[in-house]
């Protein structure tokens, strides 16, 4: 609903404009009729002068009359040519004015004196007509006149059309001006309306409202600035009293940990959004007292208030682990409340568990090859191996276990690098099928030596991906190396690529002994080796597939495995393609 002052201003602007447009419209309508009439008379005089010139030049009157009739029919005019006595020589309306008829127009007297006369009259029952008398000369002497009759109806219609266009333009101008006047009225009245709102807000104790001041300043702007200054000074006085509390609240709300302040009765005085993530109160935004945090909250609060010293407790809820620290707020004789800090230490807890598990697993994996190396080394030192063949066997075992340790250490270093780099640092665009072809070609000789058919099937139509080419080559080498070690002579290894929507899938399928279905969910784990089925002891460290998974996940892809005992295994991964336009 528009303000009254806006409506009043708008009506004032509109009234003035409408009056001006009415006067202007009337003047324009009158001028347009005069100008059009003058223009029409000028055209008729030119026609009369032209016909008179043809007659005075001695042209064939019959041809002149024929041309005159054609022109008269075209322009809806009637023409008459008379001599100096008023007798009609030529006429386009022979029925009403046949040649030989004597015209007794009083205007002819003035015409034969050399004047051009225009007048309105009734002619031959054709209604109101504009008649033009134009003299013509021969040898410098006026010898006759041309009389032209033009019906006023066509002229009136043309003038009416012009005037109608003027009226329509005025109506449109009034409509447009009405909208503009409403906009201008709103703009002019806005400062007054704002000042009224600010003044009303000040009466209710709200000093935060301000008048929007625009440059350059006028009287209203200066008044608004003065009102803003008055409101600001009053507001500063009140805000100074609440400044300390607001500053404390802002600090607490910006903290990443949960913070809750209690009074001595356990009622919540202040809290931030992260406090609601406590164990016993997930998602409850209405923290009213320490009871909302469950039994642990009441116990810890009672202990802190009784002993007047800080306390803490670790709690686990679902997959999250929290550390709650609570300290008393000092009072004159006893605590006047307590403040609790609730920290989400889930990530730190998980990291600690993973560290312990990793250290234990690595220690176990290193103990086996080191034990073998130590045992066979002592056997050689003590001379247990008598023959050269046994000595060579022992040395070969020591060398195999040493190589195994080297591979394990290399995999651990590789894994450490992947753990530190969650994403590919310098990705580049490359053709994945070319990488597959390059890796397959490296295994072709070994496959032929072992009697394995290494086949390829490229159906991805030159897939372009973004990532680390060397890392993806490492993935394919791992897949093919595993397949070669677990595929017997005469077996088949198939490497396939195919496109699936906006991604490309690469798979390596062998015809080896397969993997027990119960082991499939764990093949991507660190140090996991399905010894009972695939006999990963054939040179594997148990880290290869875990590293493969980390590499593919860093490329925003997915890994998968399908297998059953005695039917081989299929390992693969899927990567997003680079979008192409068109």
Write the CA distances from 206 to 195, 221, 239, integer angstroms. Answer: 14, 21, 11
Whole-number pLDDT of residue 421: 53
Do residues 433 and 462 lie in contact, with contact meaning Cβ atoms separated by under 8 Å? yes
Rounded-to-integer distance, Cα 324 and Cα 261, Å: 13
Whole-number pLDDT of residue 480: 92
Pairing of strands 117-122, 128-138: antiparallel
**Cβ-based burial of 293 (10 A; exposed 0-12, middle 13-18, buried ≥19):** buried
Rounded-to-integer distance, Cα 393 and Cα 19, Å: 120
- Name the DSSP class of 98: -
User: How crowded is residue 442: how many other Cβ atoms within 10 Å of its Cβ?
Assistant: 12
Whole-number pLDDT of residue 452: 92
Do residues 551 and 471 lie in contact, with contact meaning Cβ atoms separated by under 8 Å? yes
Rounded-to-integer distance, Cα 159 and Cα 32, Å: 7
In order of their start, the domains of the chain are 4-158 (3.30.450.20), 255-344 (3.30.450.20), 349-418 (1.10.287.130), 421-576 (3.30.565.10)
- Tokens representing 516 are 């027990």
Q: What is the pLDDT of residues 503-533, one digit of tens each?
A: 999 999 999 888 888 888 888 887 676 654 3
Do residues 298 and 340 lie in contact, with contact meaning Cβ atoms separated by under 8 Å? no
Do residues 140 and 114 lie in contact, with contact meaning Cβ atoms separated by under 8 Å? no
Whole-number pLDDT of residue 244: 73
Torsion of CA 90, 96, 100, 104, to 10 degrees: -100
Q: Which residues of the chain have pLDDT under 50?
A: 1, 283, 420, 532-538, 582
- Tokens representing 12 are 């004032």
Q: What is the pLDDT of residues 164-186, one digit of tens each?
A: 888 888 888 888 888 887 777 77
Whole-number pLDDT of residue 279: 52
Largest CA distance in the chain: 166
């Amino acid at each position: 609903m528009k303000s009254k002052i806006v409506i009043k201003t708008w009506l004032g602007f509109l009234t003035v404009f409408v009056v001006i447009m009415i006067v202007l419209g009337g003047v324009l309508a009158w001028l347009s009729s005069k100008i059009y009439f003058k223009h029409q008379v000028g055209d008729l005089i030119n026609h009369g002068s032209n016909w008179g010139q043809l007659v005075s030049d001695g042209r064939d009157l019959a041809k002149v009359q024929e041309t005159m009739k054609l022109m008269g029919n075209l322009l809806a005019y009637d023409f008459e040519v008379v001599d100096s006595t008023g007798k009609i020589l030529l006429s386009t309306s022979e029925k009403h004015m046949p040649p030989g008829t004597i015209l007794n127009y009083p205007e002819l007297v003035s015409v034969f004196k050399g004047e051009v006369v225009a007048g309105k009259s009734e002619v031959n029952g054709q209604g109101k007509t504009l008649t033009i008398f134009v003299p013509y000369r021969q040898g410098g002497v006026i010898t006759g006149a041309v009389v032209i009759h033009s019906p006023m109806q066509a002229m009136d219609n043309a003038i009416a059309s012009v005037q109608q266009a003027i009226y329509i333009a005025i109506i449109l101008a009034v409509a447009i001006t009405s909208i503009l006047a409403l906009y201008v009225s709103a703009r002019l009245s806005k400062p007054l309306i704002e000042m009224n709102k600010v003044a009303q807000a000040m009466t209710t104790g709200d000093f935060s409202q301000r008048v929007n001041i625009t440059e350059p300043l006028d009287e209203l702007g200066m008044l608004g600035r003065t009102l803003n200054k008055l409101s600001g000074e009053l507001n500063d006085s009140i805000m100074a009293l609440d400044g300390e509390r607001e500053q404390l609240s802002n600090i607490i709300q910006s903290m990443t940990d949960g913070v809750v302040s209690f009074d001595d009765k356990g009622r919540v005085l202040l809290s931030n959004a992260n406090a609601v993530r406590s164990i016993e109160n997930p998602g409850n935004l209405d923290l009213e007292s320490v009871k909302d945090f469950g039994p642990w909250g009441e116990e810890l609060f009672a202990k802190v208030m009784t002993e007047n010293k800080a306390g803490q407790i670790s709690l686990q809820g679902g997959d999250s682990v929290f550390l709650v620290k609570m300290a008393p707020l000092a009072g004159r004789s006893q605590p006047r409340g307590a403040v609790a800090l609730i920290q989400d230490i889930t990530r730190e807890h998980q990291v600690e568990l993973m560290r312990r598990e990793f250290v234990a697993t690595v220690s176990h994996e290193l103990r086996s090859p080191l034990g073998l190396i130590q045992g066979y080394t002592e056997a050689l030192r003590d001379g247990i191996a008598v023959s050269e063949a046994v000595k060579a066997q022992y040395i070969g075992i020591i060398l195999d276990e040493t190589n195994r340790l080297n591979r394990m250490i290399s995999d651990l270093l590789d894994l450490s690098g992947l753990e530190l780099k969650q994403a590919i640092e310098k990705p580049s665009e490359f053709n994945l099928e070319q990488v597959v072809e390059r890796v397959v070609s490296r295994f072709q000789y070994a496959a032929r030596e072992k009697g394995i058919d290494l086949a390829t099937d490229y159906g991805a139509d030159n897939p372009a991906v973004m990532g680390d080419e060397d890392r993806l080559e490492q993935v394919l080498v791992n897949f093919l190396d595993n397949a070669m070690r677990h595929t017997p002579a005469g077996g088949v290894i198939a490497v396939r690529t195919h496109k699936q929507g906006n991604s490309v899938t690469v798979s390596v399928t062998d015809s080896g002994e397969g993997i027990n279905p119960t082991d499939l969910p764990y093949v991507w784990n660190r140090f996991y080796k399905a010894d009972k089925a695939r006999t990963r002891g054939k040179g594997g460290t148990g880290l290869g597939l875990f590293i493969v998974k980390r590499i593919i996940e860093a490329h925003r892809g997915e890994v998968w495995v399908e297998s059953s005992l005695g039917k081989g295994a299929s390992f693969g991964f899927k990567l997003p393609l680079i979008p192409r336009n068109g």
